[in-house]
Amino acid sequence: MDEHTMYYDTIIKLTTAISQCKDPEEVALITAESVKTAFKAKGCSVFLLDRETRQLGLVASFGLSENYLQKGPIHFMQTIREAKDAVPIAIYDVMDDPRIEYPEEARNEGISSLLGVPIISHNKIIGALRIYSSLPWEFSFNDVNIVQAVALICGMAMDMCRMYKGHKTSIKILKDMRGEGTYKTHPPL
């Protein structure tokens, strides 16, 4: 029962925090910090896919060193499948898995296990959320499900933030084009 309480608390805290965000990077940082804390993990990272370079770009991370974060590019087609095939991937031993792109750096960072899930929005893979543990961790079905739910919420919230920013920019451009005095302002509803 305590495990389920942790999951519910994580979802409530996370959705409350990100529902107030207006910046996609802030959503990513809150997600990384919340997941790392809720799972008592070594760290958590949020990556977004750059469709031109085919690399996963780090957007936010919590709990990992700068050395590890700067280890090198993460290639979309060569990396763990969570962002390529839209499936979660759980790796019990990062030192004994050929899918790990930087095993030595993971060992130096003290990472033992990894869970990666895709971040999906509007049926498109936009990135990946990864949890890193310092101790071997057999991720349960519930662990994977909750992280997938968080990744979906994160993707949806980042899209909402981008739309909000685009909406605000469009309004400003239209006002600039027509002039500030031509619009009638109404009190908020």
Query: What string of pLDDT tens digits covers the 189 residues of the chain?
Result: 355 566 677 778 778 877 777 788 888 898 899 899 888 999 999 998 887 877 788 999 999 999 999 887 776 544 555 556 678 989 999 988 888 888 899 999 999 999 999 998 888 888 899 999 999 999 999 889 989 999 998 888 888 777 766 656 667 677 777 765 555 566 666
CB 162 within 8 A of CB 77: no
Q: What Rg value do the Cα atoms of the chain yield, rounded? A: 19
Residue 162 tokens read as: 């981008």
Q: Which residues are paired to 18 by β-bridges?
A: none
How many CB atoms sit inside 10 A of residue 124's CB?
13
How many CB atoms sit inside 10 A of residue 105's CB?
18
Dist CA 152 CA 150 (whole Å): 5
Write out the chain in H/E/C secondary structure. CHHHHHHHHHHHHHHHHHCCCCCHHHHHHHHHHHHHHHHCCCEEEEEEEECCCCEEEEEEEECCCHHHHCCCCEECCCCCHHHCCCCCEEECCHHHCCCCCCHHHHHHHCCCEEEEEEEEECCEEEEEEEEEECCCCCCCHHHHHHHHHHHHHHHHHHHHHHHHHHHHHHHHHHHHHHCHHHCCCCCCC
Q: Domains of the chain by range and CATH?
A: 2-162 (3.30.450.40)
The model's pTM is: 0.78
